[in-house]
Structure 1
Amino acid sequence: MGPIAALLGFVCLLQWYIFGNFRFYSDPIFRNNQPPLVMKGGDPYIRALMRTISASEASSNRPYSVLYGGRHFDNFSRHPEICITIVTGPNKGNCSTAAGRYQIINTTWYTLTRRYHPNPERFMFWVSYSFEPEYQDAVVYRWLNDSQFWGTDISQLLRQGKLQEVLRRLSPTWTSLGYGIETNSVSRSLPQIYQKILLEELKTAGKSV
């Protein structure tokens, strides 16, 4: 047995120990290595959920700058508002302005920023909402923590192990989470991806499951 085969065998055994089943290196859980959030601190369960959403919606080593379809943008001073034609799926022929780590369309972003953006720039009657990575994180973090908006305490559901219920509730917003209209090759692996990321976040926070 060569060193590469031995390494793959060890990784499969490790995954069996953590998740209770064997996985091959081609599985999305191995290929999807979500970078940490730019935002520091906060609830590790919500942080893990944010990275899981990103794993399905914006799988990239530069997720904060990705546009719908995979291109990247450079100007973070505001939402890029670049409308890209949808070529597959139920919305084929329309265009999408989805951008950033959480693939938020421009109209949704401006609705959210009025409630959750921590540092809007104001000059007389003009208001600007930065789309820098730290603000993408901050807005989505505050949004997911808004129990009044979602009609439930998402953090509490995650602590109770009810990830599937959370994904189902969020799927009308993020349609690739396994219960929406645009599932992808990663959707079915999101529970395992979430558990892997949660362990990382809990370790960083100095907590245990």
Structure 2
Amino acid sequence: MQKFSPQLFYAGSIGLTTVLSSLLINQAAIAQNIGNLADTCFMVTSSGKRLDLGHLCTKNPQVVIKPKPVQKVAAISNFPTSNFPTSININAFLKVIRYAEGTDAQDGYQIQYTGARFYSFTDHPRIARCGNIRGKSVCSTAAGAYQFLDTTWDDVASSIGAPDFSPTSQDRGAIELIYRAGALQDIESGNIARAIGKLAPVWASFPRWDGDMEGAYGQSVVSMNELLQVFQYYQQAEASNLRNIKQSIR
């Protein structure tokens, strides 16, 4: 039987006392930190690192204010949809675009790239179709009388406030692109070749100058001479229609 050792008991008592003292000190530190937490919403660790505990505050909690969402501001056109410019020359030039783009058929406002049709004017069809151009597969979302890409239409529709993809909205969108390219005044003044050159980056079927056969994108284009003849034809037709309208209301 092991004999009781007073020295061992004494040493054990010292160890126990040390542990208890450490616990009491830690408890006091925890209580102090809790007090700091309630008052200041942060605490400092033993290593001196400061921890932000604002979300755990029990006294005077901080109010979190959510930032307001940033609203996108659409570009404002000089010509609102309800009052966009129209004239014999502008109307004739719109038909020139459709002629060059191959959308001058009766249902041209419903034509997609590759010649497929869509049947709702609620919005741009937003369908990518693929076809071959000079032996290469090319996919595009181009649609409508002026072959708007979906991204281009989103930009233009936002600018002019177009509510749909109707023929009227498409016409208005084309005029907006003409205006942005700085070609509107050229059309009004009859400088059609210059307008076509400015708009070659917008419509791939347009040549950049007389004699250009690749356009801005290396595709086949309608010749400048042919487009000028088409413009003259539609200009005369628009003038004739206008005369007939005036005579009918007299």
Larger relative helix fraction = 2
Q: Map of 1:1-209 to 2, 5 A cutoff?
A: 42-57=86-101, 58-89=103-134, 92-118=136-162, 120=163, 130-144=164-178, 146=179, 149-150=180-181, 152=182, 154-179=183-208, 180=215, 181-184=218-221, 188-206=225-243
Cα shift at 1:134: 1.7
Q: Which amino acid is the alignment partner of residue 200 of structure 1? A: A
- Runs of 4 or more above 6 Å deviation: none
Cα distance in structure 1, aligned partners of 2:92 and 2:104:
15
The CA deviation at 1:159 is: 4.1
Look up the SS of the partner of 1:103 in the other structure: coil
* Superposed displacement of residue 59, structure 1: 3.6
Identity within the alignment, %: 26
C-alpha offsets along residues 78-116 of structure 1, whole Å, 9 cap, x if unaligned?
Answer: 1001111131138x3231110010011100000101111
**5+ residue gaps in structure 2?**
1-83, 209-214, 245-250
* Cα separation, partners in 2 of 1:54 and 1:138, compared to 1, 3 Å: same
Mapped contact 2:109–2:167 kept (Cα < 8 A): yes
The residue type equivalent to 2:113 in the other structure is Y
Of structures 1 and 2, the one with the larger relative CO (CA 8 A, separation 6+) is 1
3-state SS of the aligned residue for 1:86? strand
Letter in 2 for 1:62: D
TM value normalised by structure 1: 0.65
The 3-state SS of whatever aligns with 1:174 is coil
Counterpart for residue 32 of structure 1? none
What's 2:72 paired with? none
Distance across 1 between alignment mates of 2:223 and 2:109: 19
Q: Is the 8 A contact 1:178 1:188 kept in 2?
A: no
Q: Is the 8 A contact 1:56 1:186 kept in 2?
A: no
Distance 1:185-1:195 versus aligned 2 partners, 3 A rule: same
Q: Give me the whole-angstrom Cα distance separating, in 1, the residues matched to 2:150 and 2:224.
A: 24
The offset of 1:45, in angstroms, is 1.0
SS of 1:53's equivalent in the other structure is helix
Query: How far off is 1:41 after superposition?
Result: 8.2
Structure 2: distance between partners of 1:187 and 1:71:
27
For residues 141 and 169 of structure 1, the distance between their equivalents in structure 2, rounded to whole angstroms, comes to 14
Larger Rg: 2
Structure 1 residue 185: Cα displacement = 5.5
Q: Against the structure 1 CA distance between its residues 44 and 97, is the aligned structure 2 distance closer, same or farther, given a 3 Å change threshold?
A: same
